[in-house]
Structure 1
Amino acid sequence: MAMAFKMATTGMWVTEECKSSFWEMKWKKVHRYIVFKIDEGSRLVTVDKVGGPGEGYDDLAASLPTDDCRYAVFDFDFVTVDNCRKSKIFFIAWAPTKSRIRAKVLYATSKDGLRRVLDGIHYEVQATDATEMGFDIIQDRAK
C-alpha cells in the first residue's frame, strides 16, 4: 500500500496521492482543484477528481455529488486593487442535505485531520448546497 498519513481522531488514513496532488496544485499549479472522498471500507481518504489548470470554479461545483459528502480544495487566483496577482487556497467541506447521516458524521469528524495534512490552506467554506459555496462567496472571502 502507498504511504498514508493517519488521522488520529477518526482512524482514517490520508493517502500519499492526496498530499502529492495538493502540493502539485499549490506549487506547480498543475491542478485548479482537487476533490477528495472517504472510502469507508478501507478507511482511506483518496483523490476522487482532479481539475486541470484550465478548469474553473463552476467545474468544481459541478463535480460535487448531490447526495454524498466530499472535501475539495480550490486554488483561487485573483488580482488585487493595486494590480497584484494573488492566489488563495480554499478548503470546502461539502455535506449536502441529501447525504446519509453516517457520511455527514464521518466527514465532519475527519475534516481537521485532512486539513492538517494539507498544509497551506487559507480559507474554509462549509456548504450543504450550491448557494452556500457560490463563487461570490469565494471572492468575498479572498478579498
Structure 2
Amino acid sequence: MYSTFKKKRKMPQKLQAKKNKMKANSSSGMAVHDECKLKFLDLKTKRKYRFIVFKIDEKIQQVMVEKVGGHDETYADFTASIPANECRYAVFDFDFTTDENCQKSKIYFIAWSPDTSKIRSKMLYASSKDRFKRELDGIQVELQATDPSEMSFDIIKARAL
C-alpha cells in the first residue's frame, strides 16, 4: 500500500529561529517565559515573594524573570534591585493598613522606563507592556515611571488608599 501522507521537510535552523521571532512579535509584544507566570502566581496566591523584576531578553525575544525578592524584603530593597539606566517591568506586593485599621494588600505593576535608557529599549518595553500584563492576572494598580521620584514609597502608598 502506498501512503498518501507527504513527508515534512525540516526547516533550516536559521529560518525556524526567524519564524519564531516573528511569531513572538506578531501581537506587538514579546513571548512570555512560563517562569514569569509561575512566579507571579506564587506571589499572588502563596505570598511567597514581595516583588519580581522582569527583563526582556532581546536575543530570544522573551520576557524573563530577572530577580525575585523574598517576602521579608522592603520597598527600598525593591527599588535598589531595578537598574537606574535600563527599562524593566516589575510587580510589587504592597501591604498596608487602611484608615479603618484593616490589613490589606495590593499588587502593583510597574513599567520602569527611565529617560536615560536607550530609545530602542523604551519602544520595545512600551510595545510589549499590554501583552505582558494580560499574562499576569490579578494586577490591581499600574504605575508608569520614568524617574525614581515617580515610584517613591509615598506615591505607592497614596495609590493604595
Query: TM tier, shorter chain?
Result: over 0.9
1:26-71 Cα distance to aligned partner (Å, 9 max, x none): 1101100000000011001000000000101111111111111000
Code of the residue aligned with 1:139 in structure 2: it is K
Q: State the 4+ residue runs in structure 1 displaced beyond 4 angstroms.
A: none
- The aligned runs of 1:1-143 (5 Å cut-off) are 8-143=26-161
Number of matched pairs: 138
Q: Which runs of 5+ in 1 are unaligned?
A: 1-5
Sort the Cα spacing of 1:10 and 1:129 in 2 relative to 1 into closer, same or farther, 3 A. Answer: same
8 Å CA contact 1:31, 1:52 repeated in 2? yes
Bigger Cα Rg: 2
Between the aligned partners of 1:23 and 1:7, the Cα distance in structure 2 is 24
SS at match of 2:125: helix
Between the aligned partners of 2:38 and 2:58, the Cα distance in structure 1 is 22
Between the aligned partners of 1:27 and 1:42, the Cα distance in structure 2 is 29
TM-score by length of 1: 0.93
TM-score by length of 2: 0.83
Sort the Cα spacing of 1:115 and 1:8 in 2 relative to 1 into closer, same or farther, 3 A. Answer: farther
CA-based RMSD of the aligned residues comes to 1.1
- CA drift of 1:7 comes to 6.9
SS at match of 1:32: strand
Sequence identity percentage: 57
Between the aligned partners of 2:118 and 2:100, the Cα distance in structure 1 is 46
